[in-house]
């Protein structure tokens, strides 16, 4: 028996409203349970249309049921009842996704013969009781214009109205009002929607975990295009503008991209069981399988490409349609006076173009860019139009590479490289990018796909905010800056292959440097920079920078101070191009220390031993006027500090500052600094319960920890965390620090899972220190656990470097050689990993 027959049977038996709503609820539940099977047969827009039509039938049946209940066997003509049920938004476009709200507008006309309020109320209660997720509005026909002026969101929804069921007369009256609404101050509406889109795109930028609905190139961008087309042309589909606004091929590519977004979003809703619009890593493998992709990498590559296409198409044609409202007579006059060549105009730092001018050859466009003042230009979407639909023939001409070289030599190359990326011609001008277009990086580290990351690195280079790096970059010759930009832009183009991407990248950069006609001597340097582009960060974050062996091994690969300087700048740009917040003050300090220490090694003919380094540091210290002002006893105490590592890690000013605070220590003192992340400085004569302290603060990520024995039995602790504490928690942290001097305090620490193979001990590291290395899955409280184990084994830590990347902890501890520690290395490892 069909649901219609079952409802009729219930009505005949005078069943309660509850029984009828229960039947509808069961029917809706059965339908929802069948959606996965439906999705296997029909994906993309077809699936959404079928889903929309099914909901139409459910809502129509509910309305018919309400009328049947109210009027019995004496049903009036439906068209005579002045009510219309109208779908809005994505429901109106027939693009409603599975777990999205059902936007419904119920419009009525005043008529004394019908109690429209009772009919509408009865319908809404039935829909709610049956479990429909309604987002509804109820309006009298004559109030529609007023309602549309209350909120731009309401007007936007009304632009996508579609009759589901109801009076054809009421719908006709509604259409008249909707047409009035469409013509009501269109300029204000269009400008508001464009501004709204700009804010949304900043909130949801391109990322490795794409936001299907709100992100750049997402469904909202495609909807913006439709809203403006509807407002200006009154079309019901963008396709109606084919041959008028864009070509059939351009529209076809856009529709293919949009179809993939429909498929991915529907699969996300079905898999997650909720309104999930971001494709996060956890869902990728299953979504790839549902959509027939061989793996998640291919899925995300295609998805990122689709979002790029939608973004490109939307930016170009939103501006093309809206330009009549964006420019007035004064702007037109300015454009004419700023003409730089036929169809192109430069005004106040913005480059515009005519959509009606034939697109020039690539060399003509590049010559135009070269001729522009060297500043941070904004390229209007009309310019993007010409660069997008340019025809580029291969192989490129010598002239093209000559012009490319001139663009690389500009101080503001980032905006140009971003224009090439946005237009989809970066890989046509630089062939090395062909294999990494929209290539995702599933490493838990990078925020962007390879090509966009490379562009972001160029932006970081041109907006250096580290004074040490800036001071090195500014004096570079034009040739070195050009080489550096080429290496930064191409450093990751070797990804996506089976071989080491650094080695592949080395092969890819050489032909490009040759085409740019760089001196032959620069080829080897460019190859070296790409081959070792991750070396400096690896050494800085993972190794002991104060050990001569580390520095000599590092410089044996980098070879010259000039190479070192360029690699330092490249490393800065590479880390900043990963994403916001990746380049921290802690990381910056490590890189700078490595640079300075390596530079000292490179500038010496004779090998610098630790003893010589200590002697040089002491000379600088004893010549410092502040040191000379200390008493002889105090001077002797400072110089008596046994740890050479303490001298290597600190400047003379820092040594004096730490020593002066130690002179004042009676039992213990501490200082908290939160300028960047949290830093805790502790001086103590009495024991410190370090395991307890770290355990209580394990909600913060430790970046490094130093522990030095100074003099008079005083130990100095410096613990640096990556995050700033939340506002209002400083008093609590102070209390934890003070409690940590109570050795009876205990804290139950979770036992991390560590395999014996993940720990190594190098007892030949130096005379005084052994190095313990740990590489394991990142786990909360890991450092606290280690410190607790070291305390129990009476092992003293000198310094700890904590580095987490790609969800892996790579921690390094320098520990003092004592208590025959190296003879018991195996026992120490067993203690750390024991169950």
> Over the stretch 652-664, which tens digit does the pLDDT of each residue have?
999 999 999 999 9
662: closest CA among 708, 610, 598, 720? Answer: 708
How is domain 185-326 classified at the architecture level of CATH? Up-down Bundle (1.20)
- How far is residue 445's CA from residue 441's CA, in Å, rounded to a whole number? 8
Mean predicted confidence (pLDDT) in 33-61: 93
- Specify the DSSP element, H or E, that contains 444: none
pLDDT, tens digit, 9 for 90 and up, residues 757-816: 888 888 877 777 888 888 888 787 788 888 878 877 777 787 777 777 656 778 888 887
Which region, left, alpha or beta, applies to residue 438 given φ > 0 means left and ψ of -120 to 50 means alpha?
left
- Output the average pLDDT for the chain: 91
> What stretch(es) of the chain map to CATH 1.20.120.330?
185-326
pLDDT, tens digit, 9 for 90 and up, residues 665-716: 999 999 999 887 899 999 999 999 988 998 899 888 888 888 898 999 899 9
Give the contacts of 715 (CB within 8 A, at least 6 positions apart).
683, 684, 688, 707, 708, 709
User: Is the distance from CB of 508 to CB of 523 less than 8 angstroms?
Assistant: no
pLDDT of amino acid 784: 82
pLDDT of amino acid 336: 81
pLDDT of amino acid 825: 67
| pTM of this structure | 0.84
835 pLDDT above the threshold of 60: no
What band does 56 get if pLDDT is binned at 50, 70 and 90? very high
User: Is the distance from CB of 811 to CB of 802 less than 8 angstroms?
Assistant: yes
Q: Between β-strands 162-166 and 350-353, what pairing exists: parallel, antiparallel or unpaired?
A: unpaired
pLDDT of amino acid 806: 58
184 pLDDT above the threshold of 90: yes
My answer on whether omega of the bond before 395 falls inside 30° of 0, hence cis, is: yes
- How far is residue 708's CA from residue 714's CA, in Å, rounded to a whole number? 9
Residue 71 vs residue 373, higher pLDDT: 373
pLDDT, tens digit, 9 for 90 and up, residues 540-563: 988 888 777 888 889 999 999 999
Of the given ranges (25-29, 100-104, 335-339), which has the lowest mean pLDDT?
Answer: 335-339
Give the contacts of 123 (CB within 8 A, at least 6 positions apart).
62, 63, 66, 106
39 pLDDT above the threshold of 90: yes
- How far is residue 796's CA from residue 52's CA, in Å, rounded to a whole number? 68
Residue entry with tokens 């139409």: 56
Q: What SS3 class is residue 703?
A: strand
3 pLDDT above the threshold of 80: yes
pLDDT, tens digit, 9 for 90 and up, residues 621-652: 999 999 999 999 999 999 999 888 889 889 99
Q: What SS3 class is residue 103?
A: strand
The greatest distance separating any two alpha carbons of the chain, rounded to the nearest whole angstrom, comes to 112
Q: Which two tokens stand for residue 779?
A: 């786990």
What band does 753 get if pLDDT is binned at 50, 70 and 90? confident
pLDDT, tens digit, 9 for 90 and up, residues 294-352: 999 999 999 999 999 999 999 999 999 998 887 776 677 788 888 999 999 999 999 99
Q: What SS3 class is residue 684?
A: strand
User: Following CA atoms 704, 709, 715, 719 in sequence, which dihedral angle do they give, to the nearest 10 degrees?
Assistant: 0
492: closest CA among 573, 595, 559? Answer: 573
pLDDT of amino acid 543: 86
113 pLDDT above the threshold of 70: yes
DSSP state of 755: -
User: Was domain 3-183 assigned CATH 3.30.460.10?
Assistant: yes
Helices (H), 463-534: 467-473, 478-490, 501-515, 520-531
User: Is the distance from CB of 578 to CB of 207 less than 8 angstroms?
Assistant: no
Mean predicted confidence (pLDDT) in 736-749: 89
pLDDT, tens digit, 9 for 90 and up, residues 202-229: 999 998 899 999 999 999 999 999 999 9
pLDDT of amino acid 475: 96
Using alpha carbons, list the distances in angstroms from residue 690 to 416, 746, 834.
Answer: 53, 11, 21
701: closest CA among 732, 729, 678, 733? Answer: 678
728 pLDDT above the threshold of 90: no
pLDDT of amino acid 380: 95
Of the given ranges (272-286, 603-617, 818-832), which has the lowest mean pLDDT?
Answer: 818-832
In this prediction, what percent of the chain has a pLDDT beyond 90?
A: 70
Residue 393 φ/ψ, nearest 5 degrees: -95, 145
Q: For residue 657, with 0-12 CB atoms within 10 Å meaning exposed, 13-18 middle and 19 or more buried, which class applies?
A: middle
CA angle in degrees (0–180, nearest 5) for 818-819-823: 95
What band does 608 get if pLDDT is binned at 50, 70 and 90? low
Handedness of CA 689, 695, 696, 698 (dihedral sign): positive
- How far is residue 494's CA from residue 509's CA, in Å, rounded to a whole number? 10
pLDDT, tens digit, 9 for 90 and up, residues 391-419: 999 999 999 999 999 999 999 999 999 99
């Amino acid at each position: 028996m069909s649901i219609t027959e079952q409802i009729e049977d219930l009505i005949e038996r005078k069943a309660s409203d509850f029984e009828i709503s229960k039947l509808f609820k069961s029917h809706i539940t059965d339908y929802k349970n069948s959606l996965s099977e439906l999705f296997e047969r029909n994906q993309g827009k077809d699936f959404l249309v079928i889903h929309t039509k099914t909901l139409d039938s459910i809502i129509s049946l509910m309305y018919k049921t309400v009328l049947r209940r109210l009027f019995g066997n004496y049903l009036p003509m439906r068209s005579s009842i002045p009510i219309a049920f109208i779908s809005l938004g994505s429901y109106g476009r027939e693009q409603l996704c599975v777990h999205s709200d059902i936007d419904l507008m119920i419009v009525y006309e005043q008529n004394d013969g019908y109690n429209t309020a009772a009919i509408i109320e009865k319908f809404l209660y039935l829909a709610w009781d049956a479990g429909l997720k309604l987002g509804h509005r109820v309006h009298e026909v004559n109030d529609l214009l007023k309602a549309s002026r209350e909120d731009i969101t309401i007007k936007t929804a009304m632009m996508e109205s579609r009759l589901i069921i109801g009076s054809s007369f009421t719908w006709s009256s509604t259409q008249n009002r909707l047409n009035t609404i469409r013509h009501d101050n269109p300029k204000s509406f269009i400008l508001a929607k464009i501004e709204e889109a700009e804010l949304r795109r900043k909130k949801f930028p391109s990322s490795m975990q794409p936001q299907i609905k709100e992100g750049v190139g997402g469904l909202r961008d495609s909807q913006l295009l439709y809203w403006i087309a509807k407002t200006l042309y009154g079309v019901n589909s963008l396709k109606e503008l084919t041959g008028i606004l864009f070509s059939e091929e351009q529209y076809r590519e856009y529709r293919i991209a949009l179809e993939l977004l429909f498929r991915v979003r529907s699969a996300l809703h079905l898999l997650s069981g909720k309104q999930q619009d971001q494709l996060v890593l956890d869902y990728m493998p299953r979504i790839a399988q549902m959509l027939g992709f061989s793996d998640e990498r291919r899925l995300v590559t295609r998805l990122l490409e689709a979002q790029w296409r939608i973004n490109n198409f939307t930016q170009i044609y939103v501006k093309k349609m809206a330009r009549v409202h964006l420019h007035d007579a004064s702007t037109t006059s300015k454009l004419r006076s700023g003409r730089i060549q036929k169809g192109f105009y430069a005004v106040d730092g913005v480059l515009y173009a005519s959509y009606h001018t034939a697109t020039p050859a690539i060399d003509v466009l590049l010559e135009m860019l070269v001729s522009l003042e060297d500043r941070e230009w904004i390229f209007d979407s009309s310019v993007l139009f010409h660069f997008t639909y340019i025809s580029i023939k291969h192989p490129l001409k010598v002239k093209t590479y000559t012009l490319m070289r001139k663009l690389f030599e500009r101080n503001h190359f980032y905006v140009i490289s971003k224009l090439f990326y946005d237009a989809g011609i970066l890989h046509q001008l630089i062939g090395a990018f062909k294999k990494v277009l929209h290539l995702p990086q599933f490493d838990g580290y990078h925020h962007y796909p390879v090509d966009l990351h490379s562009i972001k690195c160029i932006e970081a280079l041109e907006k250096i905010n580290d004074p040490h790096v800036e001071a090195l970059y500014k004096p570079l010759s034009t040739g070195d800056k050009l080489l550096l930009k080429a290496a930064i832009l191409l450093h990751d183009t070797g990804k996506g292959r089976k071989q080491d991407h650094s080695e592949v990248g080395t092969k890819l950069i050489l032909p490009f440097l040759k085409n740019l006609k760089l001196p032959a001597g620069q080829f080897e340097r460019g190859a070296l920079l790409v081959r070792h582009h991750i070396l400096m960060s690896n050494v800085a974050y993972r190794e002991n920078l104060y050990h001569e062996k580390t520095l000599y091994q590092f410089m044996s690969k980098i070879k010259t101070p000039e190479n070192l300087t360029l690699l330092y700048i490249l490393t800065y740009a590479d880390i900043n191009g990963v994403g916001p917040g990746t380049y921290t003050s802690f990381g910056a300090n490590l890189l700078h220390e490595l640079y300075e220490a390596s530079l000292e090694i490179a500038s010496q003919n004779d090998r610098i031993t630790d003893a010589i380094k200590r002697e040089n540091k002491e000379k600088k210290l004893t010549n410092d006027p502040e040191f000379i002002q200390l008493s002889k006893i105090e001077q002797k105490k400072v110089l008596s500090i046994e740890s050479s590592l303490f001298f290597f890690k600190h400047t003379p000013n820092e040594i004096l500052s730490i020593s002066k605070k130690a002179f004042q220590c009676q039992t213990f003192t501490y200082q908290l600094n939160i300028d960047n992340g949290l830093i805790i400085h502790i001086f103590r004569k009495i024991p410190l319960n370090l395991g307890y302290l770290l355990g209580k603060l394990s909600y913060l990520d430790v970046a490094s920890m130093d522990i030095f024995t100074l003099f008079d039995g005083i130990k100095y602790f410096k613990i640096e965390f990556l995050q700033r504490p939340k506002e209002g928690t400083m008093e609590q942290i102070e209390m934890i620090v003070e409690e940590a001097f109570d050795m009876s305090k205990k804290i139950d620490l979770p036992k991390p899972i560590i395999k014996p193979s993940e720990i190594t001990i190098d007892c030949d590291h130096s005379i005084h220190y052994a190095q313990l290395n740990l590489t394991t899955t990142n786990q909360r409280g890991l450092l606290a656990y280690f410190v607790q184990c070291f305390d129990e084994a009476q092992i003293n830590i000198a310094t700890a470097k904590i580095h987490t990347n790609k969800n892996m902890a790579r921690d390094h501890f320098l520990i003092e050689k004592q208590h025959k520690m190296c003879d018991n290395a195996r026992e120490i490892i067993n203690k750390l990993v024991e169950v």
